[in-house]
Structure 1
Amino acid sequence: MDATTLHSIGELSRRTGLPVRTIRFYSDSGVVAPTTRSPAGYRLYDHDALLRLELLRTLRELGMDLAVIRRVLDRELSVAEVAAAHADALDVQIQVLQLRRSVLRVAAGRGSDPEETTLMHRLTRLSGDERRRMIDEFVTGTFGAADAEPAAAAMVRAAAPDLPRDPSGEQVAAWVELVGLMGDEDFRARMRRTAVHRAGGHVLDIESRAGEELMELTRQKAAEAMKSGIDPLGDRAASVVDDLVHRFAEVFERTPDAEFRDWMAQSFEEAHDPGVDRYWRLVWIVNGWQVVPDLIPVYPWLVRALRATGTGGRGEPGSPANG
């Protein structure tokens, strides 16, 4: 076939797979104009028109609008320029779709009601700048506009949650829970207290008085119990806690009774609030950080175990059966 061969509109339809009415629309719009007309007045198109129509069909299938395609066909824009712009636009659309998918999966898995589903959708639609402003407001509201506690504020800012472009359902759920915590005034007060303690590198009074050897043993036993999946409220925690209580009672010259256990729980609780520890776990999840076992706080487990064994429900604390 040479370049001077003319095609009817029906022939173009057969070659491109486009309906005749669509080609007629493009022709009437001037996007793919006929080369000439037959003596009977029918439109005829040359080989360039065929190539132009095939490119138009390809670009339309790639999602480009007719106005942009016309500029490409008229050589006002290159295919490469338009392809790059549309690829960027598709990236944004894909991100939105992936985010919607994650929200829907969380809603389905949790059996969310309409209010929770709406909240998740709204919070995950926030832009990166909007999320950063939310975190800045949380840090400022927690530590003061003038950063009265700069070390603590810096620590929280350095590990700020940052929802990824394609979050998992777990990350979406963690982000929504984090937003709830950050807006809670009571939680802010608890965060301020524990963050200041951690950032300042302060040592608890019970830690300094017990000595490094006993504290290292305490952290080791609690960490091993956590790694083994021992429930601090279960019976298996009793032997771990009872041994530690007797060791601390000996050092502090106290009776290892319920009152002493309660004192130990309060002492360890000063710098390790369960709600704040939950915040840091959620941050790890949102940021996709690997949870390092050695960095998981052990004191919350120990505090819960101390309070559970101090109730007398497993036998009298300090008795031979628990020693």
Structure 2
Amino acid sequence: MCSIGQLAERAGVTVKTVRFYSDRGLLPEAARSGGGHRRYGPDALDRLRLIRSLRTLDLPVPDVRRVLDQDDDLEDLVARQLREVTSRLAALRWREAALRLLAESDCTVRERAERLRLIGTVSFPPGTAAIARFWRCWLPARLPARVAAAVVDRAVPALPDAPTPAQVLAFARLQEFVTGPCAVAGPRAGAGLGVPEVHVPGKGYRPAVLYEGLPEAFELAAAELRAGRAPHAGEALDCFAAVHAAALGRRDTADFRRGLHPLLAAETRVDRYWQLTAEIETPPPGPPEPTPGAADNWLRAALGTTA
């Protein structure tokens, strides 16, 4: 048996610390002396050291108690704490990049005020719920859930853990774009951003066929973009035209392609969205990774060279 002072000395902590853990039931005393002083058993030192280790990891007292009582698995608690720390670090990195954006010496007073306004709409770390909501609104209402989920997953940008100031600004502008009055008004309703031809009922399009087939065409076009090739006829364009023909229940012929080019050229576009997405996903000075929007532009240009 040892006194509270002896236990504190052996553990390298203060008496106040030992008393704190004892009062909260983490370090039960084995007995009391005749004068009412606390006495601790031979296992108290190891238990106290374990408590200190868990607290060093910033585990809350209730979680420490559950580990000590074996009511909760240490591995699960550590994993949860690691997720929380990772989230806090990401928030700090985004906040740091936002501050650097505002501190740039070549930024005018007006630009700084505009940047500050945009940053004020962003949470740290940021989320992509508003962006996903924009796409769910933009897509046709009767698109199968699995197809819609695949489109949204592909369209929503992957946010960097350690962004540059430029990426923070691009994300703030993107969030403003997807939450602005035009987007909120609802593309399906025919307001704001308008409705692509493929989304309009009665126009002959089968949206599910189109959105299921386009990813393959976009991947083929992305390879051409990475190689720096100008739009041209070939496998990517053939796949693109065939998908549109299938969605319209037509055959992919030269006449069909000639009619498809002006049809697509007249459609509502969200080029600004894809431009900002490319800025978010590609830190300078690297070349931008092709987005679905960039692939679509390449394919439309290739269609124009053959139409």
TM-score (norm 1): 0.51
Match of 2:63 in 1: 68
Distance 1:167 1:123 in 2: 14
Match of 2:275 in 1: 281
Q: How does 1:248-259 map to 2 (within 5 A)?
A: none
Cα offset, 1:181, TM superposition: 4.3
Match of 1:38 in 2: 33
| Structure 2 residue 172 is matched with structure 1 residue 176 | yes
Local SS of the residue matching 1:123: coil
Cα offset, 1:173, TM superposition: 0.8
Distance 1:66 1:157 in 2: 39
- Counterpart residue type for residue 171 of structure 2: W
| Cα distance change on mapping 1:32 and 1:185 into 2, 3 Å | closer
Local SS of the residue matching 1:44: strand
Cα offset, 1:113, TM superposition: 4.9
- Counterpart residue type for residue 130 of structure 2: E
Q: How does 1:225-236 map to 2 (within 5 A)?
A: none
Match of 2:116 in 1: 117
Residue in structure 1 matching 2:160, options 150, 164, 168? 164
| Cα distance change on mapping 1:41 and 1:146 into 2, 3 Å | closer
Distance 1:123 1:177 in 2: 10
Distance 2:134 2:123 in 1: 13
Distance 1:172 1:85 in 2: 27
Distance 1:100 1:124 in 2: 9
- Counterpart residue type for residue 127 of structure 1: G
Any idea what the Cα deviations from partners look like across 1:90-142, whole Å, max 9, x if unmatched? 222222222222222222224665674353243345533333113444x45xx
Match of 1:199 in 2: none
CA RMSD across the alignment: 4.3
Tell me if structure 2 keeps the 8 A contact 1:124–1:172: no
| Cα distance change on mapping 1:87 and 1:179 into 2, 3 Å | closer
Tell me if structure 2 keeps the 8 A contact 1:100–1:121: no
Distance 1:172 1:62 in 2: 30
Any idea what the Cα deviations from partners look like across 1:194-249, whole Å, max 9, x if unmatched? xxxxxxxxxxxxxxxxxxxxxxxxx89xxxxxxxxxxxxxxxxxxxxxxxxxxxxx
| Cα distance change on mapping 1:34 and 1:179 into 2, 3 Å | closer
Range that drifts further, 46-55 or 20-29? 20-29
Cα offset, 1:22, TM superposition: 2.3
Q: How does 1:132-143 map to 2 (within 5 A)?
A: 132-137=132-137, 139=138
Tell me if structure 2 keeps the 8 A contact 1:99–1:124: no
Cα offset, 1:71, TM superposition: 1.4
| Cα distance change on mapping 1:17 and 1:135 into 2, 3 Å | farther
Range that drifts further, 32-41 or 159-168? 159-168
Match of 1:107 in 2: 102
Residue in structure 2 matching 1:51, options 46, 51, 61? 46
Tell me if structure 2 keeps the 8 A contact 1:72–1:79: yes
| Structure 2 residue 6 is matched with structure 1 residue 11 | yes
Gaps of 5+ in 2: 144-149, 184-191, 198-229, 232-264, 299-307
Q: How does 1:133-212 map to 2 (within 5 A)?
A: 133-137=133-137, 139=138, 158-182=154-178, 183=180, 185=182
Range that drifts further, 172-181 or 104-113? 104-113
| Structure 2 residue 91 is matched with structure 1 residue 92 | no
- Counterpart residue type for residue 23 of structure 2: D
Q: Aligned residue pairs: how many?
A: 210
Distance 2:151 2:24 in 1: 61
Cα offset, 1:55, TM superposition: 1.0
| Cα distance change on mapping 1:108 and 1:15 into 2, 3 Å | farther
Local SS of the residue matching 2:121: helix
Cα offset, 1:25, TM superposition: 2.2
| Identity, % of aligned positions | 31
